């Protein structure tokens, strides 16, 4: 009887500990009522009588710990939605680098509405604190919880933590740009910022300096400026976009987003450290560990390689793959493409490595299917191809199985490949036999000295340096940062060739102009200034330039 009582007490203590971890994760008023976990609901605390005290503003620093009750399914759903938003933030940032923040934010809102994520779109576009309906509070709370959950999800993965940190900082900056004057000042009041605005008399004394440092502001007189320690705005100081006097930076109101983004970064950095401890406490709770594992699998940190300029996208097509393999493919992909054309077949590792690379450079699923089918059906019938290979091709593009957005392999993963004698995948500088590597470099048209430079690096286990030397010889240029991804290599190669092509056209046009106006060369020394854009070099403009 005593042993049964001990077992019962042990069970109670175990359940109490599990409950304590959950309460400490999403903390923290004294609980009045605990509900059963059999309904897949986490019992945390009762909601406060007035949630408006917790969420008075659309924009948050996420310093407090959320509380209340939330279903596990909803917890996973809002976290997955936030990951979709952050992924879009990254892609739009990379595609629209030349655009101001306002236009990038507008592009993000459009994409979110296309995906049906109207709740997120509305929150990003809100001016701050004009509305406090139940729906506004509900959306702000979900925003808060999803951020805190993802902090714990990425806590133990350095790369994912870095990715999350960058995207959250960008999202905060874009959302800050939506605030109107009332929303901006209320935000300062909530978080007790007391930056001193400069007086009109002080503005008049330094007006000349403010105009020089703030060229993007058309009306200096109507713009409010604040005094901020220069150490709080290193990005503005670095770019010489702010006037600094005696350690004080004079920041226009429209640029105060830089100040608050800097604060947000510091807060988030500290919170990510604390998230490690929080997640460790929940390690034995299967409900959370399962959700965290699912969310971790969704996060990808290599999306940058799938983002290309329009010029690159126009340069890539199924018909040009043979040409591109000779001019812009990294050596590992050139070897795979050559083997596919020669043998009309690649083993599983080669199909995955090359298939993901093709996806990354912009080849569509239908074009990829055409390529693989046209080659494989030369050594097998169509029925066998459909049975053995169609599913895998669709799987790579996220159309089958888990439907994940699989990313092209980085160099680190390619070099970890296990390669058998019949395989062509992996890194040729690491896995290829020396005499075979020599023959492949001869096929590339390299002379003996060039081949020696590459093979020496390969023999010394400097595989990325060998790849970088291959690029330099191929393109006749110096590259000071070795590539870590084959798709980045491809993008940079295509940009190089496009730039070289346009430079050649400019030289041709200048020679033609000077020869037709020889007085510029013979009678006087005149400086000729050219102002050309790429569109000026199209065929219809060449005659009228």
Burial class (CB in 10 A: 0-12, 13-18, 19+), 438: middle
Of 201-215, 373-387, 436-450, which gets the smallest average pLDDT? 201-215
pLDDT digits (tens, 9 = 90+) for 326-347: 999 999 999 999 999 999 999 9
> Dihedral through CA 293, CA 299, CA 300, CA 303, nearest 10?
170
Report the distance separating Cα 139 and Cα 44, nearest Å: 19
Stated length of the chain: 545
Predicted confidence (pLDDT) at residue 18 exceeds the cutoff of 80:
no
pLDDT digits (tens, 9 = 90+) for 260-304: 998 999 999 999 988 988 888 888 888 888 888 888 888 866 555
Predicted confidence (pLDDT) at residue 196 exceeds the cutoff of 70:
yes
Read out DSSP for 319-365? GGHHHHHHHTS-HHHHHHHHHHHHHS---HHHHHHHHHHHHHHT--H
> Dihedral through CA 19, CA 25, CA 29, CA 34, nearest 10?
-30
Q: What is the mean pLDDT of the chain?
A: 80
Mean pLDDT confidence for 36-49:
39
Confidence at 521, pLDDT banded by 50, 70, 90:
very low
Confidence at 480, pLDDT banded by 50, 70, 90:
confident
What's the N-to-C CA distance of the chain in angstroms? 100
According to DSSP, residue 26 is labeled: S
Confidence at 22, pLDDT banded by 50, 70, 90:
very low
Whether residue 386 contacts residue 465, with contact meaning beta carbons closer than 8 Å, is answered with no
> What pLDDT shows up at residue 303?
54
Whether residue 497 contacts residue 327, with contact meaning beta carbons closer than 8 Å, is answered with yes
| Model pTM score | 0.56
Of 307-316, 414-423, 498-507, which gets the smallest average pLDDT? 498-507
Report the distance separating Cα 470 and Cα 430, nearest Å: 14
Confidence at 451, pLDDT banded by 50, 70, 90:
very high
> What pLDDT shows up at residue 306?
54
According to DSSP, residue 426 is labeled: S
Measured between alpha carbons, how far is residue 243 from residues 197, 211, 253, 254, 455 in Å?
Answer: 14, 9, 14, 15, 53
pLDDT digits (tens, 9 = 90+) for 53-86: 788 899 999 998 888 888 989 999 999 999 999 9
> What pLDDT shows up at residue 21?
41
Q: How far is CA 29 from the centre of its chain?
A: 37
pLDDT digits (tens, 9 = 90+) for 360-411: 898 999 999 999 999 999 999 999 999 999 999 999 988 888 777 788 888 9
Measured between alpha carbons, how far is residue 16 from residues 9, 35, 43, 46, 185 in Å?
Answer: 10, 14, 12, 18, 44
Report the distance separating Cα 78 and Cα 82, nearest Å: 6
What 3-state class would DSSP assign to 70? strand
> What pLDDT shows up at residue 529?
38
> What pLDDT shows up at residue 431?
93
Predicted confidence (pLDDT) at residue 321 exceeds the cutoff of 90:
yes
Predicted confidence (pLDDT) at residue 171 exceeds the cutoff of 70:
yes
Whether residue 67 contacts residue 29, with contact meaning beta carbons closer than 8 Å, is answered with yes
Interior/surface letters 309-321, b for 16+ CB within 10 angstroms, e for the rest: eeebeebbeeeeb
List of long-range contacts for 101-106, beta carbons under 8 Å, 24+ apart: 101/173, 101/174, 101/177, 101/257, 102/177, 104/174, 105/174, 105/175, 105/177, 105/178
Predicted confidence (pLDDT) at residue 311 exceeds the cutoff of 50:
yes
Tokens of residue 279, six digits: 């997640």
Predicted confidence (pLDDT) at residue 446 exceeds the cutoff of 90:
yes
What 3-state class would DSSP assign to 71? strand
According to DSSP, residue 518 is labeled: T
> What pLDDT shows up at residue 95?
66
Sequence-distant (6+) residues with CB within 8 A of 434 are: 455, 459
Q: How far is CA 411 from the centre of its chain?
A: 18
pLDDT digits (tens, 9 = 90+) for 209-239: 888 888 778 788 888 898 998 888 887 888 7
Radius of gyration, CA atoms only, the chain: 30
Interior/surface letters 160-183, b for 16+ CB within 10 angstroms, e for the rest: bbebbbbbbbbbbbbbbebbeeeb
- Residue holding tokens 């795979």? 336
Report the distance separating Cα 489 and Cα 429, nearest Å: 15
> What pLDDT shows up at residue 99?
75
Sequence-distant (6+) residues with CB within 8 A of 523 are: none
Report the distance separating Cα 477 and Cα 486, nearest Å: 18
pLDDT digits (tens, 9 = 90+) for 95-144: 665 678 888 899 899 999 998 999 999 999 888 888 888 888 889 999 99
Predicted confidence (pLDDT) at residue 316 exceeds the cutoff of 50:
yes
> What pLDDT shows up at residue 130?
82
Most confident of 92-96, 142-146, 205-209, 512-516: 142-146
Report the largest interatomic distance among the alpha carbons of the chain, rounded to a whole angstrom: 116
Predicted confidence (pLDDT) at residue 312 exceeds the cutoff of 50:
yes
> What pLDDT shows up at residue 5?
61
Phi-psi region of 298 (alpha: psi -120 to 50; beta: other; left: phi over 0): alpha
């Amino acid at each position: 009887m005593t042993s049964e009582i001990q077992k019962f007490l042990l069970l109670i203590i175990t359940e109490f500990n599990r409950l304590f971890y959950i309460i400490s994760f999403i903390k923290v008023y004294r609980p009045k009522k605990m509900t059963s976990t059999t309904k897949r609901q986490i019992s945390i605390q009762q909601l406060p009588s007035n949630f408006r005290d917790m969420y008075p503003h659309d924009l948050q620093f996420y310093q407090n710990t959320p509380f209340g009750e939330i279903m596990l399914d909803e917890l996973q759903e809002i976290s997955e939605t936030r990951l979709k938003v952050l992924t879009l933030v990254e892609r739009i940032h990379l595609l629209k680098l030349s655009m101001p923040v306002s236009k990038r934010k507008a592009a993000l809102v459009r994409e979110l509405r296309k995906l049906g994520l109207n709740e997120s779109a509305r929150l990003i576009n809100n001016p701050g604190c004009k509305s406090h309906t139940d729906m506004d509070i509900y959306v702000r709370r979900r925003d808060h919880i999803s951020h805190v959950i993802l902090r714990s999800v990425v806590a133990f993965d350095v790369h994912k933590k870095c990715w999350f940190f960058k995207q959250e900082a960008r999202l905060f900056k874009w959302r800050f740009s939506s605030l109107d004057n009332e929303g901006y000042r209320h935000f300062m009041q909530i978080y007790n910022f007391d930056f001193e605005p400069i007086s009109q008399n002080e503005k008049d004394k330094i007006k000349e300096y403010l105009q020089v440092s703030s060229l993007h502001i058309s009306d200096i007189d109507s713009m409010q400026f604040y005094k901020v320690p220069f150490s709080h705005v290193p990005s503005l100081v670095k770019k010489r976009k702010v006037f600094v006097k005696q350690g004080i930076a004079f920041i226009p109101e429209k640029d105060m987003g830089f100040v608050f983004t800097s604060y947000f970064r510091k807060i988030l950095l500290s919170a990510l450290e604390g998230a490690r401890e929080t997640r460790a406490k929940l390690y034995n709770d299967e409900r959370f560990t399962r959700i965290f594992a699912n969310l971790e699998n969704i996060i990808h940190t290599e999306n940058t390689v799938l983002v290309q300029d329009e010029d690159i996208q126009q340069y890539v097509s199924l018909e040009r793959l043979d040409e591109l393999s000779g001019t812009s493919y990294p050596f590992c992909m050139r070897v795979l493409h050559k083997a596919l054309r020669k043998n009309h077949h690649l083993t599983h590792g080669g199909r995955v490595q090359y298939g993901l690379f093709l996806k990354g450079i912009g080849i569509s699923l239908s074009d990829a299917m055409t390529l693989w089918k046209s080659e494989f059906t030369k050594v097998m019938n169509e029925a066998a191809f459909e049975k053995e290979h169609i599913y895998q091709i669709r799987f790579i593009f996220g159309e089958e199985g888990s439907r994940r957005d699989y990313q092209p392999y980085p160099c680190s993963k390619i070099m970890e490949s296990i390669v058998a004698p019949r395989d062509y995948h992996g890194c040729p500088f690491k896995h290829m036999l020396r005499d075979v590597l020599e023959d492949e470099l001869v096929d590339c048209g390299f002379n003996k000295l060039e081949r020696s430079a590459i093979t020496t690096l390969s023999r010394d286990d400097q595989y990325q340096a060998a790849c970088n030397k291959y690029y330099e010889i191929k393109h006749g240029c110096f590259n000071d940062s070795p590539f870590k991804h084959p798709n980045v290599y491809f993008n940079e190669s295509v940009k190089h060739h496009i730039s070289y092509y346009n430079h050649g056209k400019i030289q041709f046009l200048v020679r033609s102009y000077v020869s037709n106006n020889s007085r510029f060369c013979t009678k006087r020394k005149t400086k000729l200034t050219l102002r050309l854009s790429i569109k000026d070099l199209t065929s219809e403009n060449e005659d009228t330039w």
